[in-house]
Structure 1
């Protein structure tokens, strides 16, 4: 069993508030840590962590400051770890993400509570000072380390290798702006992160000596529990922990993907994320999925800020899931003074119907079922369905796939795929996984998650295609049209907006944009051909434009049309407008978003090169060109998703 501790940026007001109110062990350690921080910072962090309703906005602003967010995240993870330990849940391995390593070092006995917390807070104070003029910025980039490194401007560093296919780049604001422009031109998916400062970058160089000097005053002990070193990407060794280790830890790359790979070498591992939110669950689950051999299970012990469940409900469900996978739990310690008295069920009168066994028949030996937890217990997550919905085999199979892809252990009917951290790549992989496991009567499409992003609605949406009778409210199966409804409009007399796909072919890219547009206008995405069975990919912008205009017209839409597109999609939308003009029509709107000139678009000699670009360069999936070339064209993308 393993604990993983999240790092900075995971904080939110009221994280663990219900545990602070109801769990004495959690409260005891939060109070102790709060007093340590008060002596260092001059403020009681509990006022921002558990604010009064009238102070919620102020608390949210205060928790964005590194001097408050770093110790608050540290305290929450440490107190939650102590709560789990008090219930007999003891890890054999640990791993922290960035400042989360300070928690791992403390729980392992390497650092005292006072030294670990004050050193982590000191780190936050000095990097606030180092970034006073320019806090810098960080980008989460859907590229592996080898693909991203050649693209970095000189001032930008790889701050975190999150997974084999994603990294965080960090550095001064001008350098990050240059990287954003380059990634946009190459149609690489990225996202700006809302963090207090650009740690693990060159901006930390001026304070490394201070951190080293501060670390000279702490006492280091050998670890009682093994844990991973972010700096080295392997298990920590006693000789690693020199005073300058913590300065180099602040400055250099967090090798989290290497840490996870090292941790997953242990068979039958139950991994519990111990701290605010579920930020690490997705990264760990992706590596479990990519390994193809790991039988590890990922569970989160605390909810995300938007999760409607209560703190204790999530924690108890975490314990139940861990126990079902063979983790020992001290139920006496968990129940405390409230252990119920064992009572007998009431008896009932028998009907006294006799059932004779015919002589001469040999009976086999039956073994009594075991009630103890087993490491081979079902790995599917629990599914919470509202009254009236069937908890059937289909729902459980879909839940298992969602849980594996998103790293969640509990799903409610209203659980939203995208709110739980689902990305475009996760959607494509999930649908490919369900296609293999469910063997539906039609091809499932990733954009169906756009139509039905909640778990319960998605299950009922795919039910008719899986040999199970649909409920009366089931929507019809989607057609193979290029049109994907991103958001229905309220006004039937308003012309819809058609947004053309970027290079990846799918239109998940536009989900949040569609939600932000005029609610009266219906928004459609135009996906690329070649993403479904029986379709051929089109190789020119002119052919794509003609294909999409034909799809719009065949669906009954008439002009004047409103057209838009991002990156490659902007080029296609522009060509659609030119074809309309040549036919004597004039588009009502043509919007180009981050669209390069055609000369700057990537060009491919063959389909193999296109698949390498799409999955290797953009999403960081390791592929063999020789293996791709040996496959027929229709089999290459499914192979990349496997």
Structure 2
């Protein structure tokens, strides 16, 4: 059989709220059993030490804490629906989410995939309590109960398309579910499989049954294979594992806890009783699993037994195991059962054992058996090649094989063979020519449905990172890959783990800081790259980034290699050496091109894809390469020739910045043939260029008129008539290079607008040399296209300030200015901060490019910390032995405990407008509240009915009927009428006003209430 990997685990068992606590409980040999909580039933009322009819012989069992806590808002489930749901469904939803995260997968990334869900479940006591209360059965009560819904609800909320089924084979349910999941993976019915088991004890029914059948331990504890064994103690819990074909898990670099080598399932058939164990069937299922796994019994180092602690059950199991292992008396196989720690978790027993075995193989130690000190002599374990562990068993290096049994009360048996995970495979070498990853710092990300959830999870991540020495790169990369998919996006850059921990805690405590580091993008970002031009250069520009970021270094080297044949010297070496020659035009222009190209390509490699490009003068060459209008080598040849030709021009030219509009300067420029307008950077930001003597005359006259002027430190009069001598020679080179129409919109500073099907070809680049740089016009046109982010590409910020001084566009756009490089000291931190800001704004980065290959490894993060603020529990009273016959009807109304009353009001605040009451709005808000079961202050006009409030088609029908009953003038509504106007509560209010809604007069009966059932069906 092809091996199947366990790649994700989550669980919650008595005394163990999570996987780490579960392992700790096992290693300590601790006891999770205690008194039956009053929330479940009055144990004393049902207790009789003698086990009289209708009574139990125990008041103890293994119970999980807070089974009523459920984060319904996270799953967009209304309070009314949450209150109707079987707690087992609620526990499974949260456990499934956490297990997928533990597998290193963002749960939302599984949406639409062939992921299977296989749930083992035995009890359905919530349904027994609620579906027999006929007066209170609702649509929500129907969908909130039933075995099928335990699996189907996971598939629904995670949008999974693979097989989805619940399995009830009694105590073996969840191991049989694992067997079916393995087969589905091998048959390629699914590519991921979630296997879960769950059990919540709500009534004493099974405790009474165990007592009457002589199976119940008076102290409520299972004592497997012990001389003190005297029956079953009940337990409960939930566990989920994520399975994948081993080859797929290795290919994706996932952590593997353990490997399932083979499994088998069979049935007792007609044996010595329906509920009695059968030795022969058990030994056959063991043999079948061994054969399928391709192992010999002697290969098995330890087995997690079914081990209930009943005299007959333990004896039959030992004899079945002895059939295969009796010959190994010199080296007996270790035997244990987690039921000694938890009690018998019934439908969850198989998953509890599976997780124990997987963790044992993962940690390479098998926990001691809780009752090993008083081993039963009657079982003659040594004669059967078995032994109980009185101390933890350290597993040697290399492959270790283990077994796991789970036997159903009705005779359905299952056994699985597991082995330790293979050694991590060597990481594949990067493809030839691929850019290396790494930006010089890390970006930690986290998402949550709301700010309060974000704060809670920031603290959970901070505590975990502080608790052990964690490498920052793998930790941050795992956060990027796993903690994603929710509306509120948090991102921060850090240089080490200690700084990250402090930042996470500060953000959780400081609402203003959290707001700055969070984003909630409403749509796709529209990103513009702005490439700086001449004047922004300086010695060693971006040298710190070059040293820290392998990714930037790769693209800077690529640009240098393209320039070298045309410059005769390495531009890279000149820049990094701090050579002042970088201010000489022949070097300035190619050096700025190299920086612009390298920074632009670094960002695109990181997944930041611009939809608009603008370059100031020489900055347009790098923009043209990113727009695929010029190839890299062609652009490098052009910009090198441009700089060299300009350097050859005689001195005597200069440039003058004037605080005046272009039109205001016309009277001084027109009479001067050797002076031109070099650039128009804004309405009152003009640069003149030309002969120095002429500029001095003009400057004096302009200054006398009150205009501010400033001489620019340049070697030549760029973009002036003095450039004409180089045009012919440059045109020959440009003709050989060519150019084409850009594939990404370029806002040309030659045209002052976006290029519309125009090529950036030889005539364009020739004109570019002497033409006025129409930056103000081009930037204004770009702003009118409503970008969300302006990313300045250059060695220091120049254009961002110029853009801020422009008049805003008619749309009132207010784009964010993003600066990957802020000056000489900028290293990877500024680039990481820029990437964090873009992520908060809606960009989906290619995160692997941000990390070197050695850091692209999975690192376990704490799973999502769900809110325990809201509680849902039926206030029912199970009858005691003293009451009259017949069950008491449960009250299905949910309660919100005291914790909710003290919860931060920022989570949901009232949003009804102050001032006079609005009867239509109030009627709609009240109807929505009643249908969803929300408190009065929990519904706001901007809430979305589907995404925020968890409405579905059944709830929409009820809402329609309530609106018809509460409002006059709207006539008979149809679902078709409503569906297009259900984006938010406020949208629904506006729609009803358009139909003439008004408060209903006394005695009003809405359309639905006056229809026959058949008419209502047609209306829907």
Tell me by how many angstroms 1:346 deviates: 12
Tell me by how many angstroms 1:62 deviates: 0.5
Distance in 1 between residues matched to 2:564 and 2:558, nearest whole Å:
10
- Residue in 1 that maps onto 2:570: 44
Alignment of 1:155-554 (within 5 A): 155-287=674-806, 289=808, 293-305=812-824, 309-337=825-853, 338=855, 341-344=859-862, 355=898, 363-364=935-936, 365=938
Identify which of 668, 676, 682 aligns with 1:151. Answer: 668
Distance in 1 between residues matched to 2:934 and 2:565, nearest whole Å:
77
Distance in 1 between residues matched to 2:601 and 2:680, nearest whole Å:
29
Distance in 2 between residues matched to 1:141 and 1:344, nearest whole Å:
59
Distance in 2 between residues matched to 1:185 and 1:334, nearest whole Å:
54
TM-score (structure 2 length as normaliser): 0.33
- Residue in 2 that maps onto 1:110: 629
Q: 1:242 to 1:110 in 2, by over 3 A?
A: closer
Q: 1:71 to 1:346 in 2, by over 3 A?
A: closer
Distance in 2 between residues matched to 1:257 and 1:328, nearest whole Å:
31
- Residue in 2 that maps onto 1:20: 546
Distance in 1 between residues matched to 2:677 and 2:541, nearest whole Å:
29
Report the 3-state secondary structure (helix = DSSP H, G, I; strand = E; otherwise coil) of the residue aligned with 2:697.
helix
Q: 1:234 to 1:268 in 2, by over 3 A?
A: closer
- Residue in 2 that maps onto 1:68: 587
Distance in 2 between residues matched to 1:269 and 1:17, nearest whole Å:
29
Alignment of 1:590-605 (within 5 A): none
Mark the runs of 5 or more structure 2 residues left unpaired by the alignment.
Answer: 1-526, 872-895, 902-929, 945-1020
Distance in 1 between residues matched to 2:861 and 2:759, nearest whole Å:
56
Q: 1:67 to 1:16 in 2, by over 3 A?
A: same
Distance in 1 between residues matched to 2:662 and 2:702, nearest whole Å:
14
Distance in 1 between residues matched to 2:864 and 2:791, nearest whole Å:
40
Q: 1:23 to 1:161 in 2, by over 3 A?
A: same
Distance in 1 between residues matched to 2:715 and 2:844, nearest whole Å:
39
1:7 aligns with 2:533: yes
Contact 1:288/1:296 (<8 A) preserved: no
Q: 1:81 to 1:357 in 2, by over 3 A?
A: closer
Report the 3-state secondary structure (helix = DSSP H, G, I; strand = E; otherwise coil) of the residue aligned with 1:124.
helix
Distance in 2 between residues matched to 1:32 and 1:220, nearest whole Å:
20
Tell me by how many angstroms 1:29 deviates: 1.9
The superposition leaves residues 108-134 of structure 1 with CA deviations (integer Å, 9 ceiling, x where unpaired) of: 11111111111011111111222x242
Tell me by how many angstroms 1:221 deviates: 3.0
Contact 1:222/1:238 (<8 A) preserved: yes
Distance in 1 between residues matched to 2:757 and 2:733, nearest whole Å:
19
Distance in 1 between residues matched to 2:826 and 2:645, nearest whole Å:
36
Tell me by how many angstroms 1:354 deviates: 6.6
Tell me by how many angstroms 1:229 deviates: 1.8
Tell me by how many angstroms 1:326 deviates: 2.5
The superposition leaves residues 559-594 of structure 1 with CA deviations (integer Å, 9 ceiling, x where unpaired) of: xxxxxxxxxxxxxxxxxxxxxxxxxxxxxxxxxxxx
Contact 1:25/1:82 (<8 A) preserved: no
Tell me by how many angstroms 1:298 deviates: 2.0
The superposition leaves residues 60-105 of structure 1 with CA deviations (integer Å, 9 ceiling, x where unpaired) of: x201101111100000010001110011000011010001111111
The superposition leaves residues 177-203 of structure 1 with CA deviations (integer Å, 9 ceiling, x where unpaired) of: 112211221221121112232111010
Tell me by how many angstroms 1:48 deviates: 2.0
Tell me by how many angstroms 1:356 deviates: 8.0
Tell me by how many angstroms 1:342 deviates: 3.2
Distance in 2 between residues matched to 1:178 and 1:274, nearest whole Å:
36
Tell me by how many angstroms 1:345 deviates: 7.6
Distance in 1 between residues matched to 2:548 and 2:566, nearest whole Å:
28
The superposition leaves residues 144-169 of structure 1 with CA deviations (integer Å, 9 ceiling, x where unpaired) of: 11112223251211100101120111
Contact 1:7/1:96 (<8 A) preserved: yes
Report the 3-state secondary structure (helix = DSSP H, G, I; strand = E; otherwise coil) of the residue aligned with 2:679.
strand
Report the 3-state secondary structure (helix = DSSP H, G, I; strand = E; otherwise coil) of the residue aligned with 1:98.
coil
Alignment of 1:122-141 (within 5 A): 122-130=641-649, 132-134=650-652, 136-141=653-658
- Residue in 2 that maps onto 1:605: none
The superposition leaves residues 585-635 of structure 1 with CA deviations (integer Å, 9 ceiling, x where unpaired) of: xxxxxxxxxxxxxxxxxxxxxxxxxxxxxxxxxxxxxxxxxxxxxxxxxxx
Alignment of 1:579-618 (within 5 A): none
TM-score (structure 1 length as normaliser): 0.52
The superposition leaves residues 186-239 of structure 1 with CA deviations (integer Å, 9 ceiling, x where unpaired) of: 221121112232111010111212221211101423322111222111122444
Contact 2:675/2:695 (<8 A) preserved: yes
The superposition leaves residues 470-505 of structure 1 with CA deviations (integer Å, 9 ceiling, x where unpaired) of: xxxxxxxxxxxxxxxxxxxxxxxxxxxxxxxxxxxx
Distance in 2 between residues matched to 1:143 and 1:290, nearest whole Å:
21
Tell me by how many angstroms 1:27 deviates: 1.3
1:89 aligns with 2:661: no
Q: 1:345 to 1:290 in 2, by over 3 A?
A: closer
Q: Which runs of 4+ in 1 moved over 6 A?
A: 366-370
- Residue in 2 that maps onto 1:35: 561
Distance in 2 between residues matched to 1:160 and 1:85, nearest whole Å:
29
Report the 3-state secondary structure (helix = DSSP H, G, I; strand = E; otherwise coil) of the residue aligned with 1:304.
coil
Mark the runs of 5 or more structure 1 residues left unpaired by the alignment.
Answer: 371-642
Q: 1:289 to 1:310 in 2, by over 3 A?
A: same
Distance in 1 between residues matched to 2:758 and 2:787, nearest whole Å:
30
* Higher CA-based Rg: 2
The superposition leaves residues 252-274 of structure 1 with CA deviations (integer Å, 9 ceiling, x where unpaired) of: 10111111111111224211001
Contact 1:212/1:245 (<8 A) preserved: no
Contact 2:545/2:826 (<8 A) preserved: no
| Matched positions, count | 356
Contact 2:786/2:811 (<8 A) preserved: no
